[in-house]
Amino acid sequence: MSYNVKEEGNIATVYLDGEIDMDVTEKAKEVILPLVEAKKEVHLNLKDVQYMDSSGISVLIESHQKAMEVGTTVKLKEISKSVLKVIMMAKLEQVLNLD
């Protein structure tokens, strides 16, 4: 997994690329959670994420819940078909902020 962060005003867009599994969840959290804790509105762009498993879904849930806790939001943008399939399998499409 690789990533790229672009910040504009209070919006931080994190472009994730590759496969998100147990091996990279800590790295993903290290990128996303500090932005959330800084109360940025975080946009996770998932168009180049070809695979996400339950560990990746946990990162999305943790980020979303942390955002609610500190009073900001995490929005999922341009979700790839394969990631959307997993989000829907977990019945999280009504829980996470899908754009």
Partner 1 sequence: MDISVSKDFAVNSKSLKDVRDFAREIFDQSPVFSQQKDELVLAIAEAAQNIVKHAYKDISDTKDVMQIKISFKDNELKIGFYDKGKPANPENIKHRKLDDVKPGGLGTFFIKQIMDEVVFKEAAGWRNHLVLTKNFNHQQ
> What's CA 21's distance to the chain center, in Å?
13
* CB nearer partner 1, residue 35 or residue 59: 59
* SS3 call for 70: helix
Q: Is 10 one of the binding residues for partner 1 (CB under 8 A)?
A: no
* CB nearer partner 1, residue 11 or residue 95: 95
Is the CB of residue 16 less than 8 Å from the CB of residue 45?
yes
Determine which residue in the list 6, 7, 11, 22 makes contact with partner 1, applying CB under 8 A: 22
Determine which residue in the list 5, 38, 70, 89 makes contact with partner 1, applying CB under 8 A: 89
* Cβ neighbour number for residue 74 with a 10 Å cutoff: 25
Least Cβ distance, residue 11 to partner 1 (angstroms): 24
* Cβ neighbour number for residue 4 with a 10 Å cutoff: 12
Determine which residue in the list 30, 53, 69, 99 makes contact with partner 1, applying CB under 8 A: 53
